[in-house]
């Protein structure tokens, strides 16, 4: 399981307050996108397909996306968006994968040692 960090000052961050006041759906979209990026180890990239899956219509989707871009929380990348400063606060994919591989290797070694002791 991957985790993402959310600043405990989120409630008073000027960008989030601006997004909330302009389009409350954008804050929900931001939180969902953080979770999705962490779960899929995208290093903060958010795909159009993921965003489309969250909205039934394009009007609310477009308003939420435009709000995130206009407030500087998202940056367009040509195939979707990047969550601004994602890697400043969250571990990159390669570090997460390396830690998982090391953990699995340790488990295998422990199982092998336990089997040898039987």
| Ranges of each domain in the chain | 10-90
Q: How far apart are CA 108 and CA 112, in angstroms?
A: 6
Q: How far apart are CA 69 and CA 75, in angstroms?
A: 6
72: DSSP letter:
T
With 0-12 CB in 10 A as exposed, 13-18 as middle and 19+ as buried, what is 96? Answer: middle
- Please tell me the pTM assigned to this model: 0.85
Phi, psi angles (nearest 5°) of residue 81: -145, 160
pLDDT tens track, the chain, 118 positions: 668 899 899 999 999 999 999 999 999 999 999 999 999 999 999 999 999 999 999 999 999 999 999 999 999 999 999 999 999 999 999 999 999 899 898 888 888 777 787 7
Q: Which helix (H) or strand (E) holds 62?
A: helix 58-70
């Amino acid at each position: 399981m991957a985790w993402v960090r959310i600043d405990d000052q989120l409630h008073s961050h000027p960008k989030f307050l601006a997004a909330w006041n302009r389009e409350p759906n954008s804050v929900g979209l931001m939180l969902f996108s953080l979770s999705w990026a962490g779960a899929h180890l995208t290093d903060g990239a958010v795909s159009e397909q993921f965003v489309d899956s969250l909205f039934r219509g394009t009007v609310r989707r477009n308003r939420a996306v435009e709000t995130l871009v206009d407030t500087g929380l998202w940056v367009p990348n040509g195939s979707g968006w990047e969550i601004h400063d994602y890697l400043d606060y969250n571990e990159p994919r390669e570090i997460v994968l390396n830690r998982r591989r090391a953990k699995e290797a340790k488990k295998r070694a422990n199982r092998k040692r336990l089997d040898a002791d039987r």
